[in-house]
Amino acid sequence: MKLCRVVKPGLLTTIQDLGRPGFQRYGVPTSGAMDTFAFTAANLLVDNQPDAASLEITLLGPELEFLSKAQIAITGADLSPTINGEEASCWQTLQILKDDTLTFGHPRSGCRAYLAVRGGIDVPTVLGSRSTYLRGRFGGFQGRQLKAGDTVEAQKPTKPLEHNLSIPHELIPRYNDELTVGVVLGPQSDHFTDEGIQVFLSNTYTVTIDSDRMGYRLAGQKVKQSVPTGMVSDAITPGSVQIPPSGQPIVMMRDAQTTGGYPKIAVVNTPDVSRLGQLRPNHRVRFLKTSISEARRSLIEYHKRLSQLRGKLKESPPS
């Protein structure tokens, strides 16, 4: 089913789902939505499965002309969406008519918005996922970001929703320009001086313009190593914090390579990787040391919140 035509592509609009785990041993990153909470919420608001393929929209959103009637939801960053020039609400079901135009304006908060459509976006699966991996040029829409003239197709839903859904106000995340994230030290924390670790944990770092879906390059006080000769490459996961020779941390994100030779001073707690995905260049981040047991409890609580989210949605008549 033809869903919409891309009139303007925006800065970076890609098709994502919850990623392709299980292929890192073959050198394939997990990819997937940078903010899994906002992504999942968007799908639940149109009664999809949580991992249905949706649009990830970065900072400057696209202009989309709808080619058929649809039910959509927009979550995550507030990028000032409008439908036919009228302000559109986020974090709730929206009714779209054929020939409606959805546009985005000035970013008010956050970095990445998610647009889910009832039934999910229809693109081929690659290694069990519809996520776009830009550097590998596969998945999503022909392995690339959307561009003007593209036609996005959606799976035909079984039937339209008979009511609108919305996220309760108290459950909607707030995206600020400074964030504290939990980290577990290691696996190569022994490559750093005590002073270097203290610097890492006690200073504020700024997200640089060189940051992307692969990694967030940070700027701040230099983290000193005690083993300057480097190391043999080993495994990397999203959330790993590498320290290159410059001493400036790099937080690996969803499109992170699977191995690397820079020592990793710490790993960001999994729920906080999603929160990091909403930071923009010039936003700030601090690191808080946590134990493995604290990180585990944080992850359990995060999955509990996600599993309970569907049952907390509010229903209202279609507008």
Enumerate residues 6+ apart whose C-beta is below 8 A from 66.
3, 4, 96, 97, 98, 99, 100, 101, 102
Residue-wise pLDDT for 17-62, tens only, equals 999 999 999 999 999 999 999 999 999 999 999 999 999 999 999 9
Residues 303 and 197 sit within 8 Å (Cβ to Cβ): no
Is the whole-model pTM more than 0.85?
Answer: yes
Length of the chain: 319
**How far apart are the C-alpha atoms of 191 and 7, rounded to whole Å?**
50
What pLDDT, on the 0 to 100 scale, is given for residue 229? 60
Residue-wise pLDDT for 147-175, tens only, equals 999 999 999 877 889 999 999 999 999 99
Domains of the chain: 2-167 (no CATH), 178-305 (2.40.100.10)
What pLDDT, on the 0 to 100 scale, is given for residue 319? 66
Q: What is the mean pLDDT of the chain?
A: 95
The H-assigned helical ranges of the chain are: 36-44, 194-202, 270-276, 292-309
Band (pLDDT 50/70/90 cuts) for residue 230 is low
Enumerate residues 6+ apart whose C-beta is below 8 A from 258.
24, 25, 27, 28, 29, 235, 236
DSSP state for residue 209 in the 8-state scheme? T
What does DSSP say about strands 109-117 and 54-58: parallel, antiparallel, or unpaired? antiparallel
Structure tokens at 212: 């992307």
- Segment 95-121 shows an average pLDDT of 97
Q: What share of the chain is helix, strand, coil (3-state, %, to 5)?
A: 15, 35, 50
What pLDDT, on the 0 to 100 scale, is given for residue 232? 83
